[in-house]
């Protein structure tokens, strides 16, 4: 009888611990950042002007470093993955609803350059 009660208690503890861990994981996944639609501006590591627009259709468009244009990129959740066209590449992620950190590069040389940009208007 004592073994049965001990076994039932152990199973209940394991199931309870699994439920707690499962709830914690679900909560962590549901707290992703929702990017704010609008115009963003910032600077890269070399103090060059960065600007782009994040649209309601989930795209980063008109990404520019100074006067150099980069391709549109599709945002998934709170980030866009490495996107290139004609050797001009970007990637980035929102650290909160109005701030983006990322990298750009021209793949013919120079390597990645870090940037940070903030939402400025709709």
Is residue 107 scored above 60 in pLDDT?
yes
Say how far apart CA 48 and CA 7 lie, in whole Å.
Answer: 65
Is residue 29 scored above 50 in pLDDT?
no
What does the pLDDT read at residue 1?
52
C-alpha atoms less than 13 angstroms from C-alpha of 40 in its C-beta half-sphere = 32
- Tell me which residue of 85, 70, 58 sits closest to 115, measured CA to CA: 70
Q: Give bridge partners of residue 101 from the DSSP assignment.
A: 93, 116
Q: Global pTM?
A: 0.73
What does the pLDDT read at residue 10?
45
What does the pLDDT read at residue 31?
56
Say how far apart CA 118 and CA 27 lie, in whole Å.
Answer: 27
Is residue 108 scored above 90 in pLDDT?
no
13 or 95, which is more confident: 95
In this prediction, residues 71-91 reach a mean pLDDT of: 96
């Amino acid at each position: 009888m004592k073994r049965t009660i001990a076994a039932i208690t152990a199973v209940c503890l394991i199931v309870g611990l699994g439920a707690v861990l499962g709830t914690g994981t679900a909560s962590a996944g549901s707290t992703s950042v929702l990017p704010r639609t609008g115009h963003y501006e910032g600077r890269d590591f070399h103090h060059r002007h960065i600007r782009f627009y994040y649209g309601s259709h989930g795209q980063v468009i008109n990404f520019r470093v100074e006067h150099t244009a980069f391709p549109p990129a599709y945002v998934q959740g709170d980030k866009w993955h490495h996107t290139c066209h004609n050797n001009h590449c970007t990637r980035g992620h929102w650290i909160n609803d109005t701030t983006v950190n990322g990298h750009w590069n021209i793949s013919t040389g120079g390597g990645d350059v870090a940037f940070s940009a903030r939402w400025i208007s709709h």
